[in-house]
Chain A
Amino acid sequence: MKKLKSNKFRKYLPLYLMLIPGAVYLIINNYLPMMGLALAFKDVDYSVGFLNSPWAGLDNFKYLFSSSDAFIMFRNTILYNLAFIILGNLLGIIVAIALDSLRNKFLKRFSQVVILIPYLLSTVIVSYVVYAFLSGNNGFVNNTILPMLGLEGINWYNEAGYWPVILVVVYLWMMFGYNSILYYSTVIGIDKSYYEAAVVDGAGVWDQIRYITLPLLKPTIITLVLLAVGKICYTDFGLFYQVPLNSGLLYDTTQTIDTYVYRGLLEFNDLGRSTAAGFLQSVLGFICIMIANTVVNKIDKDSALF
């Protein structure tokens, strides 16, 4: 018996050894920071170190919610994500159906290549592109588009009111190709005989979309939407920090939890609020993803994360 056990151990030992580098990385990159969440309940004093800093109960959270910052960043994070989810998926579905309906082989092929290009770019490059359009003195919008409409130039980087629209447009520009290709890969998998049968019954294009394409896309739509809802507390740091060029005048409409936590730690040296906001983000994020997954599991078991 003992011999058998040691044989088994010898057989699997090399496999366990292979797991070590990855496991060490996960501990450093993921598990140690999870324990660091406890800092949200501490009054961190750098001179005595993190472990010896006194506990502060809920002081950091009270402090966080004593300013309007907390409301603004949570509102922005959730509203932007809702807009991204709704418009991003809608546009993706429309483009997927449009791609599928094209008969011109060249256009079909070429557009599929081109619409993914914005997704390939770093947000730094995207910030340059946006700047070329919106720069106050030299921007394409102020110098070419607005004069054509007979309008005055606008100081885009100083006016918070325009940014909800700008950021949603920039997001859609970056992501619509990705969403479209995802939906398109489902659309081209639909059995052509469904459509043929529908046409025999006199169905027009809209009937085919409504009664065949959309119902068959439903599992993909539900999965993508719910997975996005699971990440509703997180935003792309680059989009909200770098694209508005970190302009303080725009915080009202560009501040999200991610930019707030970053600024709190590295720009304003406000560790208490930063850790409190980060703690809420992690916990709410976990709750959202668990709920989303439970719902996906009920609707379409194969698409669930677990």
Chain B
Amino acid sequence: MFEQTSRYSGTVDSAMLYITVISVLMLLLITVAMIYFVIKYRASKNPIPTPYHGNTAIEVTWIVIPTILVMSMFYYGYKDFADLRNTKEFDEEYSVTAKMWDWDFKYENGTVTDTLYVPVGKTLKFNISSLDVLHSFYIPAFRIKQDAVPGRQEFVVITPEKTGVYDIACAEYCGVNHWNMYKKFIVMEQDEYYAWIESQASNKKDEVNTTEEKPTESESNEMSENGKK
């Protein structure tokens, strides 16, 4: 449904697909058996039921096989997530602060923006916190979500593999404008990003007031393109 934005989002999608395929097969099995029995043993056709109280071998089978299947699902969902969480080295760090009803994105050089600009192909760590109530930092395209908890700092790791403009949403209910915390997550070419972040740093030296400067024309074009998606 989505383009593959990172290796991790690909693994989430394949875990999703794996569970869905097994689920659909199970559902088909149950439904087909149910319909078949209902037709074959309808009262008008089969007025005398055959007493039958159960069968231990069958019971054991449908305890053991589902157990194996769900354990594989557990492993699938756990493994890639654990890999992601155990990432120890990061190219860039950002601090993401949620508040009613806005986000602040702070870069390592002190720049603060309300749109999040990041370079493609780098391992990025986002330290997430909140100033007031619970919020949740959610980027659907990267299959990433982390609650912003006041008084705590949580983190997520993203390694974007594709440039583009993606949505950031708040996923934890936080009041009247909860629905209106959409921001953009803009993945840029590396040289473009580093040029921009440099200029922000020098801007900052010139004026104490950090005015945000939209990077390039191509980015804003892309933004409107993705808006239609």
The finding on whether chains A and B are genuine partners in a shared complex, rather than unrelated, reads no
Q: Which residues of A contact B (CB under 8 A)?
A: none
